[in-house]
Structures are given as structure tokens and as C-alpha cells.
Amino acid sequence: MSTSISNKTREEAFAYLFIKMRNRITLRVDYTLNTDTGIIDFGNLLCDLFMNIKDTLLQRSHGQCELCTAKTELSVYEIPPATDPDSDKCVLLCDSCKTQIEKTAEINVNHWRCLNDSMWSQTPAVQVMAWRMLNRLSTESWAQDLLDMLYLEEDVKAWAESEVDDDTTPTLDSNGALLSAGDSVTLIKDLDVKGTGFTAKRGTAVRNISLTSNPEHIEGRVNGVRIVILTKYVKKS
């Protein structure tokens, strides 16, 4: 990390930079000035930042994973999209949670039943990660039930939904409008619901939908029954 400066003397080549972070930690970091180039070198500033963020998260989490409460192999996870190091935008995770979230390990569905407890955290960063994982697992009935119960403030919900996965095909309604988890849609034709004995009528509103691994399918409740609906038969409300 470096920045250009001007009008600095050699005596200022060694000094202290004080950074006040939102998590109320103050860091004292040595920097050096190359008087020939006018460049300040902050050395291991980012490393120091993350060490202090981890200390903050360890205190916040009482030394355990903020999603599953494991107490070993803990590390800082920056919640994307991340810009600046900030404990408010990070969570402390065990290796099992972290690797599954980052998709470097196969998802263990039963592991994520831990969200039944952690989703009620008062920490926005934990709420965001709980929402994202429940949304990712929403094809599981228990995960969708938890997602239906989870309430997020508007700004936290917007943060949770801000993650962009470039490898994912978008889910679109019959008019090409982008659908997101939690949206409301309206049926544009009568749909026979197999195994239920009723027909979902045209004009029926389906609220708080969930997405699936298939961009042509969504899930929602009609007459109290959770059903899979083809996106070509709905329009966004």
C-alpha cells in the first residue's frame, strides 16, 4: 500500500500513522518515506488490520464460529462485496463453514441446521451470512421455513442480496424481469398442482418466493402448500 506525497523532509521519513476504525480499535503503524520517489510505504499495515479485526471478532463471538459455534480453526471471512477491512463487514468462521461458503468444499446440508440458532444473532454481518446460506439451501424445506421466519432490516436485507455470483444464470419472469429471493409474483395462467387436488388460479399472488438451482423454476406457497412454479408462468409484482 503506498501513496504519493510532497514537501516532506528526511526527518519525517519515520513517523506514526494513527488510524481510527469503526470498530474503535486504534492502530499505530510505522511508515517510511522514500525521499527520492516521494512514496510512503506502509509495510504490513493490512496484516496488522486483519490481526486487530480478528481480535475484535474473537471478543464479539466469545471465541467461536459465528455460524456453527465451533471453537477450532477460526479465521476472518470478509463478506462480499468487501471494500475496506472492517470488523462490521466480517464474520469469524470455522474452516468447515468457510470452505463451504467459498464453494471449495462440498456442501454438507445437515451442517447448516446450525443456522436455526445463529440466524437470530443481533449482529448484521451474521444475519447476512445466515440469510445467504439459507437462500442457497432454500430447496431444503427446513431451510426455506427458516428463511420465511428470518426478518432483516431493509439495509441489512439489501446487503444480503448484494452478493453477485457471475457463474449463476439469472432467474427471469415471463417479461424478462429479474427475480430475487423474497420477491412477489403473480400467476399468469391456471396451473394444475399435482398431488394437491387444487388448481392455482391465474392472478394468484405468490409472496416471498425462493430461487432454486434451476433458473427456470421458483418456489412459493399457494393455498399454504409450497410448490415449484415455472418462471414463464409468472410476472413480477
Specify if 203 maps to a domain: yes
Task: Give me the chain's average pLDDT, please.
Answer: 79
- How much is the pLDDT for 167? 54
pLDDT at 211: 84
Would you place residue 8 in the very low, low, confident or very high pLDDT band (cuts 50, 70, 90)?
very low
Residue 213 falls inside a structural domain? yes
Q: What pLDDT score does 197 carry?
A: 80
Residue ending a domain, among 104, 127, 160, is 160
Q: In which residue are the cell numbers 388460479 written?
A: 201
**pLDDT value at residue 125:** 96
Interval 164-185: pLDDT, tens: 554 567 899 999 998 988 899 9
CATH of the domain at 198: 2.30.30.40
Q: Is pLDDT at 163 greater than 80 in this prediction?
A: no
Residue 131: the pLDDT is: 95
For residue 212, what is the enclosing H or E element? none
Q: Examine the domain organization and report whether 63 and 151 are in the same domain.
A: yes
Higher pLDDT, 69 or 45: 69
Residue with cell 428463511: 147
Query: Which has more confidence, 186 or 33?
Result: 186
- Most confident region among 28-37, 79-88, 127-136 by mean pLDDT: 127-136
Residues 65, 7: Cα–Cα separation, whole Å: 48
Residue 90 lies in a domain: yes
Is residue 237 within 8 Å of 185, Cβ to Cβ? yes
Q: Which residue has the higher pLDDT, 165 or 62?
A: 62
pLDDT surpasses 60 at 41: no
Q: To the nearest whole percent, how much of the chain has pLDDT over 70? A: 75
179 in a domain, yes or no? no
pLDDT of residue 10: 37
Collapsing DSSP states into helix, strand and coil, what is residue 141? helix
What's the CA gap between 228 and 170, in Å, rounded? 17
Between 62 and 43, the more confident residue is 62
Examine the fold and report which residue of 126, 160, 194 is the final residue of a domain before the chain moves on.
160
Same domain for 62 and 32, yes or no, is no
Report the number of distinct structural domains present in the chain: 3
How confident is residue 212, by pLDDT bands cut at 50, 70 and 90? confident
Please report the pLDDT score of residue 81 as a whole number.
81
pTM of the entire structure? 0.55
More confident residue, 82 or 175: 175
The residue to which cell 488510524 is assigned: 19
* Coil, helix or strand at residue 188: coil
Considering the domain architecture, whether residues 72 and 127 belong to the same structural domain is answered as yes
SS3 for 219? strand
Cis bond upstream, residue 170 (ω within 30): no
Q: What is the dihedral of CA 230, 136, 119, 114, to 10 degrees?
A: 120
The pLDDT of residue 103: 82
CA 194 – CA 106 distance, rounded (Å):
32
User: Do 17 and 34 fall into the same domain?
Assistant: yes
Instruction: For residue 12, give its domain range.
Output: 2-43
Contacts made by residues 32-39, CB under 8 angstroms, sequence distance 24+: 33/5, 33/8, 35/8, 35/9, 35/10, 38/4, 38/5, 38/6, 38/8, 39/2, 39/3, 39/4, 39/5
67 lies in the same domain as 149: yes
